[in-house]
Chain A
């Protein structure tokens, strides 16, 4: 007789602790799955990492080629490339929540599972942060190896860590909003996500102060969370600014997170129901 597992419980756990445990397990399912996928696509991961390292080094060599004392400029550019690499990785991993499932043809199975959309996003966000941190660490080591003159002796590292933590959450909110696009536009949604990422790169002061942007572009800088992360990170690392002096940027990032995450989830829920009414879950990208 074939093996069939014992019947699973059909009633939901009722205590908050049991519910949290169940949802936590489900969130980790997404982390584990994405880890498996990253392992299987290791060739592409390696290729993309090499490309990112080469791009980052190219920018820093541009800085090194300038006249005068370039140490500060090199560190300025290093902060930009590492922070942007991390934040963009978080954004794209969350924003591709649906696009990836469409590409693999698994979207219906995941949507049918007894997992809340919040849990789904928490799982994807957890992986995005872990993945971003690992990637950024590897990149940092590469940059330090080729630019050993970079010094962090004056840096307020705890302050910088706090900025990255709060900034990550604000970017997750943007990512959730971005994840709606492949849900709504099966064919072009992922392309739209790339456009959003590109605009954020342009207006957030990644490689230059935002003041050099044309006047009409500067308001866009104000709504990009990357702008505040980069400003605060550079203050903490380049100038050793105290954590208390970073409060303005931290408050802006917190406000963005507080607004974007629930709004993103509400928009996602609305368009998930729209997709179920119109049969768009079935269509693959």
Chain B
């Protein structure tokens, strides 16, 4: 395992995971678990989504988690955002335990998932009014602020009050990003946020992420399988495979580590990934799940 040398000399740690593991299913499901199955006869498979994961994300850092589908990235994000309870280990956000201080952690974070989770019949304005109020925002300027952030992200002003279901996937994802930014979180969790966006929109979102970090001292944790995005945006990257962190470091550090192995003078991040994990980023989720359990 290659680690970049994070130590106690860095006191401002935004996210810390210590030995976090999470699995789904059971080799011997209880009677209650069998009752809860989706369909009679369904055979639950044991999936080790996270396997003794430890990492630190520094304050004000843009930290990337790079991995194939099924590597555990989304599970990691869900555990940090209090949506999943880990089986073992500890997760803290700015020193607050995500289980014991759940309410306090929720006030610090926001998340953008790969699927734009909205009330599709409602407009961007209506969806963002709802989410803003959940996070304690209100006041007479709220509608104006919402409209401004949507327009800045490329949503035409005339579409702000139209149902989201009339918008493309890319525009819906931009609204999801606007929703997260509107609450100005100190920790922003992005789970493949630019999937489905055109190149220009990707650049706009990436620029927005950097501005958020610069102007609000925000920390960003971004999961991606887009190598270019990870290389351009992230201060440091962790490579995940089969629920494990196999390497952490800056892009240059990771490249230097694999150069002796591959013999390439200037390996790409994709070369780094293949050298460290032994397979291509595009391997199927099914193959990786089976491999992780074996």
Which residues in A have some Cβ–Cβ distance to B below 8 Å?
A: 1-12, 22, 25-26, 28-29, 32-33, 36-37, 40-41, 104-116, 184-187, 273, 276-279, 281-282
Contact = CB atoms under 8 A, between A and B. Distances in A.
Contacts of B82: 111-112, 276
Nearest to A119: B134
Interface residues of B, number: 53
B280 to A, nearest CB: 26
B108 interface: yes
Interface of B: 24, 36, 38, 78, 81-85, 103-104, 106-109, 111, 113, 115, 117-122, 126, 129-131, 133-138, 145, 148-149, 152-153, 163, 181-186, 207-208, 211-212, 215-217
B122 A29 contact: no
A25 B207 CA distance: 32
Contacts of A116: 103
Given A12-B103, A26-B134, 9 more contacts: A2-B211, A5-B137, A40-B121, A106-B119, A108-B78, A111-B83, A114-B134, A186-B38, A277-B85
Contact of B211 (A1, A8, A9, A111): A1
Contact of B133 (A8, A29, A185, A277): A29
Contact of B119 (A1, A33, A184): A33
Nearest to A8: B184
A282 B83 CA distance: 9
A31 to B, nearest CB: 10
A278 B211 contact: no
Contacts of A37: 119, 121-122
A233 B130 CA distance: 37
B48 to A, nearest CB: 13
A127 to B, nearest CB: 12
Contact of B85 (A28, A41, A111, A273): A273
B34 to A, nearest CB: 13
A12 B117 contact: no
Given A10-B186, A37-B122, A111-B83, A4 B215 contact: yes
B85 A276 contact: yes
Closest 10 CB pairs of A and B: A29-B133, A114-B106, A40-B121, A113-B134, A2-B152, A33-B130, A114-B107, A36-B126, A3-B148, A276-B85
Given A4-B216, A7-B184, A281-B83, A185 B36 contact: yes
A32 B126 CA distance: 9
B211 A113 contact: no
A3 B119 CA distance: 24
Contacts of A184: 36
Given A2-B153, A33-B130, A113 B106 contact: yes
6 contacts: A7-B186, A104-B118, A106-B117, A108-B113, A112-B82, A113-B131
A272 B149 CA distance: 33
A12 B104 contact: yes
B133 A276 contact: no
B85 A8 contact: no
A8 B137 CA distance: 8
Interface centre among A9, A186, A282 (most CB of B within 10 A): A282
A36 B133 CA distance: 14
Nearest to B204: A2
Given A187-B38, A277-B85, A114 B103 contact: yes
A279 B103 contact: no
Contact of A32 (B117, B121, B133, B152): B133
A101 B120 CA distance: 11
A7 B136 CA distance: 12
B145 A3 contact: yes
A114 B24 contact: no
Contacts of A9: 136
Interface centre among B129, B130, B149 (most CB of A within 10 A): B130
Interface centre among A25, A186, A279 (most CB of B within 10 A): A279
Contacts of B153: 2
B78 A282 contact: yes
Interface centre among B113, B134, B212 (most CB of A within 10 A): B134
A5 B84 contact: no
A109 B184 contact: no
Contacts of A114: 103, 106-107, 134-136
Contacts of A112: 81-83, 106, 109, 111
A132 to B, nearest CB: 21
A109 B117 CA distance: 7
A248 B138 CA distance: 44
Given A26-B133, A113-B106, A114-B106, A4 B118 contact: no
Contacts of A2: 149, 152-153, 207-208, 211
Contacts of A36: 119, 122, 126, 130
A5 B149 contact: yes
Given A10-B107, A113-B134, A5 B182 contact: yes
A12 B107 CA distance: 8
